[in-house]
Amino acid sequence: MKKYKIGYTTGVFDMFHIGHLNILRRAKDLCECLIVGVTTDALCYSRKNKYPIINQEDRKAIVEAIKYVDQVVDQTDMDKIKPVLDYNVDVVFVGSDWKGTDAWIEYEKQFANVGCKVEYLSHTDGISSTILREKINR
């Protein structure tokens, strides 16, 4: 039996790569239902002052096609507690690089108040969208 019933994670998933797949696989190994929030183009631009290379509808289609993903939703803002409440999430998955940061210590407290845990998943070394972008630009 899986450890959690409903899990949630988010990402831009631009230039989908093995690191993205590894995160989704690890998350699904821990929950019965995995909901994935795909960052909208507008939110990505507002946070990073640039648009993703692959548009949001195509990124959503890619993530929807992954066998580990049960549902894909738009991530339209950085509100972390709203999707937990909206989808009755009992675990949020996030990269281990966020563990121990002030923001995620606070999120852990907020989630605990509504019965939700945080699982930190390890990053796949040697691959990221930033690395891919740098290789393309060379």
Q: What is the pLDDT of residues 59-75, one digit of tens each?
A: 999 999 999 999 999 99
Determine the pLDDT at residue 128.
62
pLDDT in tens, 40-96: 999 999 998 999 999 999 999 999 999 999 999 999 999 999 999 999 999 999 998
pTM, two decimals, is 0.91
Where in the sequence numbering do the catalytic residues fall? Answer: 48, 50
Task: Please identify which residue in the block is written with the tokens 């998943």.
Answer: 121
What gap in Å lies between CA 85 and CA 96, rounded to an integer?
Answer: 23
C-alpha 99, offset from chain centre: 15
Closest CA to 75 of 114, 110, 36: 36
Tell me the pairing of strands 71-75 and 4-11: unpaired
B/e letters for 36-69, b = 16+ CB within 10 Å, e = fewer, are: bbbbbbebbeeeeeeebebebeebbebbeebebb
Report all structural domains of the chain as residue ranges with CATH numbers, in order of start. Answer: 4-137 (3.40.50.620)
pLDDT in tens, 14-41: 989 888 999 999 999 999 999 999 999 9
